[in-house]
Structure 1
């Protein structure tokens, strides 16, 4: 007798091939039989007639690193069909840390990753072991964050690293890879990663490449200097031999739209050269990140205390305000998009809750202030823990990027406040809006972009496809109704059409309801059974 049989489903196996009507038999967490009809019985049987059965969705860009340990919060992810997430993004995450750096990272990441109290870990191994001892719903893999290893060596100083310091960082990357990380991440737009030279990037990438890891990177500039920023990371991949994956690929600002086609050509040229390049994308025309990203890089150096001190200094504050409006040498969301296109997503203080969902322009009017002063005062009161949504683009460009075969779907979802709807809607939006309604590609191709494509990036040997011997990470969804329901105005809405989800063979969502199962596993490099 099987543990679970899913019967009569239209099986999209993750390869992009057309669906096939098959029964799926699962025992001990794994798919052990695929057949037109399984005559035996199971302890639990699911009739998937009229529904598609796909591999579990793999989200290659998330910020669930802490809140994955809170099933009552994190269950919104599995309710969308997401069964595996990749933590450690943007070069700024929770491990490794030391007693000297931990407190500062807790402050800096409070708005992005949430707050679960004390961090009982220092190394990557410590953190992964902590997750292994926690009740987690889905599977978790980890990237070594560049910023964390940099602060272990250089501290939070805004300066270039020496050759010896770069070598020390590389050794820390190698240590993290041996402890189970999948690769390395950087967010070269964000301090402290922003202070890295090309030589530093090459050195740390060599540490991950030694263990066949990937380099997942938020490039230095996604707007007016986006082409130069792509050149930088492609060169780092070229010289280090690492696989390159661009996070949330786009070109921000309507004045920069002409660069998009050139950017896509750069990635194709790199592939032709032999560099394995891919990218993820969330299916929206707006971004979301920490509010402090409105500041020029020099103003974000040396940690939260130094940032707030600069904002309180009248002369430095005036310099910051002028640069936000006019400086085009960094990825400047204010200059590129305007205060009316920057919206507060989350805050930590109850007194500031009235600003969630409001643009900085609107907040300035509410406070009878210049919008720049309103934004800087909010940063001070929130101790830089607020997050924002930036409306940067047009739908035509989202579609152009999504059609590219190198694309895979990612959410970049951030919990808390009035979040970007991508936290709830990304995968269902691609299936419903783009595959079914707009038909820019087939539903099997959409499934490939959510399953086997990220599995290939992460070198997962037993996930991302429906195959005998693979883990029973599966989603059953109704192709006729699946769609996102979250909006910018009402983001806390789950998608429709996601019926059942299994994680490691355990039924975790049944008839659209989370059933309380916590069968997630930590996926360590080279240790996937």
Structure 2
């Protein structure tokens, strides 16, 4: 007898082939049989008539690194069909750390990953062991974050690394890969990764490539210098032999719309010369990140404490405010989008909770001061534990990238406060708004971009496809009803149309409700 039998559904197996009418049987956590299975016995039978049966969705860009240990909150991911996530993004995460760097990273990441008290780990292996003891609603894989190894090698110094420091970083990446990471990540817009040279990037990529790992990167600039930034990481992949994956692909700002097609062409050209390149994208015209990213790179030299000290120095304010409005040499959120398009998503203090959901222009008006001063004051008041949503683009450009063959879906979801709706809605939005309502692609192609495409990039050999012998991560959804409900004004809304979700063969979602089952596993390289 099978554990679970899913019958009468439209099987979209993850390959991108059109649906077939085949049943799926699950036994001992894995897909035991795919075929015509009428009359078979099972402990649980799910009638999927009129519904799509899909592999579990795989989110290749998340910030659930600590929130995953809170299934009472984190279960919002399985409610939208996500059964596997990739942590350690943007070069800034929770491991590896040392006794010296741990408190610095706890402060640096408080706004992004939340405050969960002490971290009882140092190495990548320690962290993954910690997750293996936690109750996880979904599966978790990890990337070695560039920023973490850089601070171990040289602290938060705002300078290029020496040859000796670069070699230490190379060895730290290799150690993390041996301990189970599937690649290395960098966020070359964020401190301390922003200070890295091309030689440093090539070295960490070589370390990842040695273990068939990937280079997952938030490029140095996603706006006016986006083409140059893409060329930089493509060249790093070219010289290192690493597989390149570009995080949350976009070109920000109306003045940069002409760069979208050229950016996609650069990726195609890299593929044509033999570099394995992919990218993920969330289906929205707004971004979200830490609020301190509004500051120019020099403000971050030395880490969060040094940054806050500079913010307290009023003599620096005039020049700083002018640079934020005019400097185009870094990925300048303020210059590219304006204060009215930058919305506060979360703060740490109760005193400023009323500012969540307001843009910086409005906050300046509320306080009767210049919006730049309001922004800098808020960073000081919250000790930089603030996140933001940035409205940067138009849907026409989103569709250019969404229909590109190298694209896969990734949420880049950030928890806390009044978050970007992508946290609750990315995957059902692709299946509902784009596949069904706009006919952007057939539903089976939408499924491929959410399942086997990220599985291939992550080198997950037994997930991402409905195939006998694979782990039974499975989603059952109604293609006529699946939809995201989260909005910018009301982002904490779960989707509709997803009835059942299995994680490693166990029922995590039944009739659209989280069952409390925590069957997720840590997926080591």
* Residue in 2 that maps onto 1:197: 197
Structure 2 length-normalised TM:
1.00
Secondary structure of 1:376 counterpart: helix
- Equivalent residues of 1:4, 1:43 under 8 A apart: yes
- Equivalent residues of 1:25, 1:38 under 8 A apart: no
Which of 30-39 and 45-54 deviates more?
Answer: 30-39
* Residue in 1 that maps onto 2:332: 332
Cα deviations by residue, 1:393-432 (Å, 9 ceiling, x for unpaired): 0110001110101000000000000000000000010101
| Partners of 1:429 and 1:388 in 2: CA distance | 21
* Matching of residue 65 in structure 1 with residue 65 in structure 2: yes
* Residue in 2 that maps onto 1:418: 418
* Residue in 2 that maps onto 1:445: 445
- The offset of 1:36, in angstroms, is 1.7
| Partners of 1:21 and 1:415 in 2: CA distance | 38
| Partners of 2:24 and 2:373 in 1: CA distance | 59
* Residue in 2 that maps onto 1:146: 146
Q: Which 4+ residue blocks in structure 1 deviate beyond 4 angstroms?
A: none
- The offset of 1:301, in angstroms, is 1.6
* Matching of residue 479 in structure 1 with residue 479 in structure 2: yes
1:307-322 pair list within 5 angstroms: 307-322=307-322
| Partners of 2:321 and 2:382 in 1: CA distance | 18
* Residue in 2 that maps onto 1:113: 113
Cα deviations by residue, 1:361-398 (Å, 9 ceiling, x for unpaired): 00000000100000000000010010000000011000
* Residue in 1 that maps onto 2:101: 101
Secondary structure of 1:20 counterpart: coil
Cα deviations by residue, 1:436-473 (Å, 9 ceiling, x for unpaired): 01011110000000000000000001000000000000
Cα deviations by residue, 1:232-262 (Å, 9 ceiling, x for unpaired): 0000000000000000000000000001100
| Partners of 1:176 and 1:388 in 2: CA distance | 31
| Partners of 1:231 and 1:333 in 2: CA distance | 21
* Residue in 2 that maps onto 1:398: 398
Secondary structure of 1:130 counterpart: helix
| Partners of 1:193 and 1:304 in 2: CA distance | 14
* Residue in 2 that maps onto 1:242: 242
* Matching of residue 295 in structure 1 with residue 275 in structure 2: no
- The offset of 1:39, in angstroms, is 2.3
- Equivalent residues of 1:288, 1:387 under 8 A apart: yes
Secondary structure of 1:401 counterpart: helix
- Equivalent residues of 1:27, 1:505 under 8 A apart: yes
* Residue in 2 that maps onto 1:512: 512
* Matching of residue 466 in structure 1 with residue 487 in structure 2: no
* Residue in 2 that maps onto 1:387: 387
* Residue in 2 that maps onto 1:269: 269
* Residue in 2 that maps onto 1:126: 126
User: What is the number of residues matched between the two proteins?
Assistant: 525
* Residue in 1 that maps onto 2:490: 490
CA RMSD of aligned residues (A): 0.5
- Equivalent residues of 1:223, 1:331 under 8 A apart: yes
- Unaligned runs of at least 5 residues, structure 1: none
* Matching of residue 356 in structure 1 with residue 356 in structure 2: yes
* Matching of residue 32 in structure 1 with residue 32 in structure 2: yes
- Equivalent residues of 1:145, 1:185 under 8 A apart: yes
| Partners of 1:115 and 1:73 in 2: CA distance | 14
* Matching of residue 257 in structure 1 with residue 257 in structure 2: yes
- Equivalent residues of 1:78, 1:138 under 8 A apart: yes
Secondary structure of 2:125 counterpart: helix
| Partners of 2:7 and 2:442 in 1: CA distance | 23
